[in-house]
Amino acid sequence: MNKGTYTACNPRLRQALRRGAVSLDADAVRLVRDFVRSQFNDDGGIRGRSRDSDLYYTVFGLECAQALDLESPVGLRGFLERQCGADLDFVHCTCLARCLELAWPEIHAERPEWTAHLRQRIFVHLCAEGGFHSEAGSRHGSVYDSFLGMLACESVGEPFPEPERLLACLGPLQKSGGGFRNDSRWEAATTPVTAAALGLYWELQHTPPAGSREWLLARGCARGGFAAAALVPLPDLLSTATALHALRPHGLVDQGRADACLDFVTSVWDESGGFCGHALDRKADCEYTFYALLSLGNLQTESVP
């Protein structure tokens, strides 16, 4: 495999989000659009679980806005400019890269010094043995951080570095049952991490290891949705969205499971127009609305323009 060979991770996510938005009827689209717009703050950012603007939630809100054909918040560029000067951790650096790509496509030409600085901050977290880790200086990458790193690399126009090293790091993180733990310090396999691992194999054009897809399928709940881990009894929207997105390329979600997942997604739709994380969560936000659209998009069989 040539260095930097992989499929388009960000576009595949956005195509799924668009399919999810298009699948909604006119009344539902209006309600979801109104909810997302209600999360825009006057400072140009998008709020999270509180009323304050949060860069992490801003990327989810912008992805939803694009899928729903909403204009970005007024003052968004100013908000992002202020974030460029902030002391951000790895996760928020990857969020900033994705926000800039969405909100300011010309930034690479207009502010090359900003994107160069952002690339440098992201690549500080590149591990000697492959992949990315949120703790700079780690020898081995984590699954979650490597997936975020792949998204960020695409956003700043960089090929994913030494993918063969990442693949070598992923192997030891698979548990005997087939699922993946996030890094060597984690004991249990989880659905979002296993889904991210399958996503990395897919984007790097490699077949996932034996048992991984079966483990992920087994996290499906009888009444719809996917649970976060083997001993968790209830489904949640994060696990459902990531599992469906990872399984869609392999054609492993049959109609019965798809119908049940659709019922689950509908059950966590809030009267505000947004989506909540699970049955016991009664506060909608842009992150879970993103995961709802991602779930719906991966439950659609047809493509959309």
Mean per-residue pLDDT for 197-215?
96
pLDDT at residue 114, rounded to an integer? 84
Asked whether the predicted pLDDT for residue 36 surpasses 60, the reply is yes
57's tokens = 């939630």
Computed on alpha carbons and rounded to an integer, the radius of gyration of the chain in Å comes to 19
pLDDT at residue 304, rounded to an integer? 52
How far is residue 100's CA from residue 33's CA, in Å, rounded to a whole number?
21
pLDDT at residue 112, rounded to an integer? 83
Closest Cα partner for 157 from 199, 123, 202, 196?
Answer: 123
Question: What is the tens place of the pLDDT at every residue in 39-56?
Answer: 999 999 999 999 999 999
pLDDT at residue 5, rounded to an integer? 46
* Weakest-pLDDT range from 30-44, 155-169, 234-248: 155-169
pTM, 2 dp: 0.94
pLDDT tier, 107 (very low <50, low <70, confident <90, very high otherwise): confident
Asked whether the predicted pLDDT for residue 205 surpasses 60, the reply is yes
Average pLDDT along the chain: 93
pLDDT tier, 113 (very low <50, low <70, confident <90, very high otherwise): confident
Asked whether the predicted pLDDT for residue 102 surpasses 70, the reply is yes
Tell which wins on pLDDT, 196 or 301: 196
Asked whether the predicted pLDDT for residue 303 surpasses 90, the reply is no
- What ranges in 104-236 are assigned the alpha helix state H? 107-110, 112-123, 143-155, 163-170, 191-203, 212-217
pLDDT tier, 64 (very low <50, low <70, confident <90, very high otherwise): very high
Domains of the chain: 9-298 (1.50.10.20)
Tell which wins on pLDDT, 86 or 153: 153
Closest Cα partner for 218 from 175, 263, 276?
Answer: 175
pLDDT at residue 124, rounded to an integer? 96
Asked whether the predicted pLDDT for residue 6 surpasses 70, the reply is no
SS (H, E, C) 9-71: HHHHHHHHHHHHHHHCCHHHHHHHHHHHHHCECCCCCEECCCCCECHHHHHHHHHHHHHCCCC
Asked whether the predicted pLDDT for residue 276 surpasses 80, the reply is yes
Helix (H) or strand (E) holding 235: strand 235-236
Residue carrying structure tokens 């083997």 = 230
How far is residue 156's CA from residue 107's CA, in Å, rounded to a whole number?
10
